Amino acid sequence: MEILTLKTFKAVVDEDGIKGAADKLHTVQSNITNRIQKLERELDTKLFNLSGRKLQLTPSGLQLCGYADKILQLEYLATSAILHSKDNYDLRIGMPETFAAVHMPLALKQLKLNHPEIRSKIYTDTSDRLVFAVLNNKVDCAAIGNAPSHQDLVVIPVIKEELVMVTPLGSEHDPILLVRDEGCGYRKHALMWQQKTGRGNDERMLMSSADGVLGCIAAGLGYTVIGKNMVIGSRYEKSLVITPLTHEPKTVQLSIVYRKDSPLTSGILTLAKLLTE
């Protein structure tokens, strides 16, 4: 049973099918299919059943999934520990695009200048998906808002960001709350605020980026609740009005999260310290 085959099996499970696994592993779908078939022959059992257009794990596949997690975790720990011992290693850091744009650049610059042995590799996604990525060793750590409690995670608070209401300057705006997609930390706080202020009936409009949210507000299409630092310095700042919140939640806690058993803890702690400074 090869490591590549197990990674392929896990990719099919995590990405919900052959196509998603092929995209994730940067290969063609036929390679994914061949590896899964080879694994099924090796184990003399079916790992997936086709239900409509979706693949579902068989009892044997579900059993293998638990062992695959453990084997791939050990493979990751071994590789990371050896690279770390050479004092020259990659640190895969996950973060939402908003964090990458506002909070991370200076810390990454200091990390590169003062710790050349650490090579930063950046991956962007929503906070919710980044938690999954950390737990499954897709990234070594992640900078997220509203970090969850989890027995396998260490959470280091680094920044407490003020939340503000953002409206267009000098014009009326529609009663529409503009928010990011599911999994965005700011979205959760905006929806909580909306309910507490009695504006739960306002229409909601989804945008793919914070920049898109601010642009639409500048055009008078609605309002939002977001981190103050997202507005300050943005290209739309002079076209927007920032109002402090009068209802909770008034802040969002941004944290670094990583697995308790990570062999790269020293590098992660170094990054966390730079962010707090």
Residues 228-249 have pLDDT tens digits of 988 998 899 999 999 999 888 8
Per-residue pLDDT at 158:
95
- What's the pLDDT at 53? 80
* pLDDT at residue 30, rounded to an integer: 94
Residue 194 pLDDT more than 80? yes
Specify the pLDDT at position 136. Answer: 86
pLDDT of residue 185 exceeding 80, the answer is no
Tens digits of residue pLDDT in 162-172: 999 999 998 78
Please, are residues 47 and 57 in contact by the beta-carbon 8 Å criterion? yes
Query: Does position 159 have pLDDT exceeding 80, yes or no?
Result: yes
Domains of the chain: 3-82 (1.10.10.10), 86-159+253-276 (3.40.190.10), 161-252 (3.40.190.10)
Mean pLDDT estimate for the chain: 90
Q: What is the pLDDT of residue 243?
A: 93
Average pLDDT over residues 74-85: 81
The predicted structure's pLDDT at residue 79: 82
pTM: predicted TM-score of the whole model, two decimal places:
0.75
pLDDT value at 25 more than 80: yes
Confidence of residue 29 (pLDDT cuts 50, 70, 90): very high
The average pLDDT across 15-19 equals: 89
> How confident is the model over 81-101, as pLDDT tens digits?
887 777 788 999 999 888 888
**Going by DSSP bridges, is the β-strand pair 153-168/48-51 parallel, antiparallel, or unpaired?**
unpaired
pLDDT at residue 225 greater than cutoff 90: yes
Instruction: Give the model's confidence band at 268: pLDDT under 50 very low, under 70 low, under 90 confident, else very high.
Output: very high
